[in-house]
């Protein structure tokens, strides 16, 4: 089995989630910096509890939007823990980059209005 490799554009070089802020900022290997509103990353949480095991990733309203902890999962993802204890979402770098590109193209309200995203 081969190890998973990522292009530099799919690897974060810096992740910032200032305490009290409602935005997670990721700087990618190609130098692009993308801001992820907590409402969007929490609403499009890819975990099985929020989404089931197949199909698209739907926007789920609600949940606390204060990020308590952020940690790298292996060499491929970030794990987010919210103040209300929700922590089962593992956000692959590939998923976060695709979500970020949608945010840049359509803005947070446009992405939220989409209602669902394909699984990446």
The CATH number assigned to the domain holding 105 equals 3.30.2020.30
Cα gap 24→16, rounded to integer Å = 6
- Is residue 88 domain-resident? yes
pTM, two decimals, is 0.88
Domain enclosing residue 40, as ranges: 8-117
- Is residue 3 domain-resident? no
DSSP strands (E only) in 1-120: 12-16, 23-28, 33-37, 57-58, 67-73, 77-82, 90-92, 116-117
Q: What is the pLDDT of residue 8?
A: 66
- Is residue 28 domain-resident? yes
- The list of the chain residues with pLDDT below 50 reads 1-5
- Is residue 23 domain-resident? yes
The tally of domains found in the chain comes to: 1
- Is residue 2 domain-resident? no
- Is residue 81 domain-resident? yes
Q: What is the pLDDT of residue 52?
A: 86
Cα gap 42→108, rounded to integer Å = 12
């Amino acid at each position: 089995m081969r190890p998973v490799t990522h292009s530099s554009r799919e690897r974060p070089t810096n992740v910032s989630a200032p305490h009290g802020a409602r935005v997670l900022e990721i700087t990618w290997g190609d130098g692009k910096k993308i801001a992820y509103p907590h409402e969007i990353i929490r609403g499009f949480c890819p975990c099985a509890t929020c989404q089931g095991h197949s199909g698209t990733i739907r926007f789920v309203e609600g949940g606390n939007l204060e990020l308590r902890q952020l940690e790298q999962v292996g060499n491929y993802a970030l794990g987010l823990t919210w103040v209300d204890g929700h922590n089962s979402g593992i956000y692959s770098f590939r998923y976060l980059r695709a979500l970020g590109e949608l945010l840049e193209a359509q803005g947070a309200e446009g992405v939220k209005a989409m209602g669902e995203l394909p699984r990446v």
